[in-house]
Structure 1
């Protein structure tokens, strides 16, 4: 690992941005660049617990079968269980030495090494968290609202909320010109990444399609939903002093800015 890719303290990150802004792309690039950084996806945790028939998974599956939303407290329990299993979170009234497992998910491999570290306790929390570099993660899918963020604060504090912003007209152009090969997920854009033959996948020659939500009206409705929930969420993290905004027209423009700020705050 090169020095600028090595972290000096734990990074606990969320990415906030409008639909189509490229949050998944930036997260993937960060995980690849920083091996100490892991991904914790609330959706993946939920599916894993349902698949493994855990007590939480059984409860969640019953709710989903009735068409009900999985409540915030259940998602928080999934996140808490994941963090405690990794050794990054521990119940306790004060900091104490615990064993932290070093786990990297960036390259689909994991290594395990133990170290005795002091784990600080977040304010008003029943849990203590590790500030060791290998306890770094990007939290995906939660929180989406200020209320959820406040609940998460009681479990573990986020120390960098990245607001990814691309102008509306750029995103609209991107999604309206996006075509997908359903079987593989390969994505094309007629503006900047067109297929070799119009309407056909480069590899198989099969027809490309547009997703149902890749049209202006659907996207604008999703944008309104995002803005209603995200503005209070961004204000929440701004008040905590951990909000950072990055602006750009493309992922290739934005990612280097994220790397620079991330390394400024967490790099060795």
Structure 2
């Protein structure tokens, strides 16, 4: 499997780039935000608990998030790989993800972080809030809190992957296609050995 972590603060452009990467590399998109919102839409107990936290800009407990990710992996065992969008958000989650992936005989290939300043993030999220309908996209104080949570907790995950020589930082401000090309270059440099071997086998057969 070819597993990628796309990282960055709220509003950095992870969702936009994820869709383009999914189309190019045929990856399964795992966004904890989307998974949680699906639970909210279904009105489950988990969804109701998560909604209260998300509306206030807080993180959902690790056990809940890891459980959802594990379930998604089980449902997509034949996938070419996964793109983790906005996850893991803490070092504890990153460690849990490594263990979870190891149980499926795979691992994270690389982590790409999109770096965007807070002023630009607030501007983007307030604009998104006009159409997203999300309360946490419509309140500048809540947006600032989310960015602070990222800076104090989530950004530490970068060090975790850097220690594994898997962390790469890119400027998240610029043309979408230019940023996408840079991310693609990094991903291509970190294709798993089995992917390259499979490609070679196909060439020989051809």
* TM-score above 0.5, yes or no: yes
Matched, 1:256 2:201: no
Secondary structure of residue in 2 paired with 1:155: helix
For residues 30-69 of structure 1, what are the structure 2 equivalents within 5 Å?
30-34=21-25, 36-48=26-38, 58=45, 60-61=46-47, 63-64=49-50
Higher relative contact order (CA 8 A, sep 6+): 2
Aligned to 1:138: 83
Aligned to 2:203: none
Superposition deviation, residue 176 in structure 1: 6.9
Superposition deviation, residue 46 in structure 1: 3.7
Aligned to 2:100: 155
Superposition deviation, residue 264 in structure 1: 2.3
Q: Deviations over 1:18-68 (max 9, x none)?
A: 23221111111111222x211022233345456668xxx54x246458869
CA 76–246 in structure 1, closer or farther in 2 if over 3 Å, else same: same
Q: Deviations over 1:106-135 (max 9, x none)?
A: xxxxxxxxxxxxxxxxxxxxxxxxxxxx43
Superposition deviation, residue 73 in structure 1: 1.6
- Whether the 8 Å contact between 1:11 and 1:160 is mirrored in structure 2 is no
Superposition deviation, residue 239 in structure 1: 0.9
2 CA distance for matches of 1:257 and 1:139? 18
Aligned to 2:163: 239
Structure 1 regions of 5+ residues with no counterpart?
Answer: 1-9, 88-100, 102-133, 186-210
2 CA distance for matches of 1:66 and 1:219? 15
- For 1:175, which of 108, 123, 132 is the aligned residue? 123
Superposition deviation, residue 178 in structure 1: 6.7
Aligned to 2:202: none
Secondary structure of residue in 1 paired with 2:100: coil
CA 179–231 in structure 1, closer or farther in 2 if over 3 Å, else same: closer
Secondary structure of residue in 1 paired with 2:168: strand
Tell me which protein shows more helix as a share of its residues: 2
1 CA distance for matches of 2:69 and 2:39? 11
Structure 2 regions of 5+ residues with no counterpart?
Answer: 102-106, 200-206
Secondary structure of residue in 2 paired with 1:159: strand
Tell me which protein shows more strand as a share of its residues: 1
- Structure label with greater radius of gyration: 1
What's the C-alpha RMSD, in Å, of the aligned pairs?
3.4
2 CA distance for matches of 1:140 and 1:177? 17
CA 181–77 in structure 1, closer or farther in 2 if over 3 Å, else same: closer
Secondary structure of residue in 2 paired with 1:147: helix
Superposition deviation, residue 233 in structure 1: 0.8
Secondary structure of residue in 2 paired with 1:135: coil
- Whether the 8 Å contact between 1:16 and 1:230 is mirrored in structure 2 is no
